[in-house]
């Protein structure tokens, strides 16, 4: 049986901020989320876990049984995400909702015809703007 390849992309550790200073508080939260997810996914039988990582954080992430895909400085995270998506069967994205980043990642995965291990891009776009959704509900 061939192992399923799952790509994990967490925006902060995966290079979304690679052209700027990496705030310690954001990195701490992102590393915690990523570490816990990797710990769970790498225990699954017949699953190979790939993880996109900003070059600056590779040594700070526990990669036991996960294969890193390293984003070099100057490289754009979205270009590497597109390339890496084609090398896997499914993608588990973690990204902020601001600036439609999560929807962009979800749409990228769906456009590549790969399995998205989150809500679809249209659902993310619909629910991302809490103020708009609250206003819409209040008008009912």
pTM of the entire structure?
0.87
Beta carbons of 67 and 91 less than 8 angstroms apart: no
Q: What is the mean pLDDT of residues 102-121?
A: 90
pLDDT bucket at 97, cuts 50 / 70 / 90 = confident
Is the Cα torsion angle 26, 27, 29, 34 positive or negative in sign? positive
In sequence order, the β-bridge partners of residue 93 are 9
Burial of 113 (0-12, 13-18, 19+ CB in 10 A): exposed
pLDDT in tens, 61-71: 989 899 999 99
pLDDT at residue 132 greater than cutoff 70? no
- Residue 8 CA: distances (Å) to CA of 11, 121, 127, 136: 10, 17, 22, 34
Q: Which domains does the chain have, with CATH numbers?
A: 4-138 (3.40.50.11770)
pLDDT in tens, 11-59: 999 999 998 999 999 999 999 999 999 999 999 999 999 999 999 999 9
């Amino acid at each position: 049986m061939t192992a399923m390849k799952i790509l994990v992309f967490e925006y902060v550790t995966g290079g979304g901020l690679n052209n700027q200073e990496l705030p310690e508080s954001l990195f701490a939260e992102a590393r915690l989320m990523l570490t816990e997810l990797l710990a769970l996914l790498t225990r699954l039988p017949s699953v190979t876990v790939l993880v996109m990582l900003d070059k600056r954080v590779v040594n700070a992430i526990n990669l036991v049984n996960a294969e890193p895909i390293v984003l070099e400085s100057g490289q754009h995270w979205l270009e590497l995400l597109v390339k890496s998506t084609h090398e896997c069967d499914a993608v588990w994205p973690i990204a902020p909702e601001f600036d439609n980043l999560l929807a962009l990642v979800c749409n990228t995965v769906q456009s590549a015809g790969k399995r998205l291990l989150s809500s679809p891009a249209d659902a993310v776009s619909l629910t991302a703007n809490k103020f708009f959704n609250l206003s819409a509900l209040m008008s009912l």
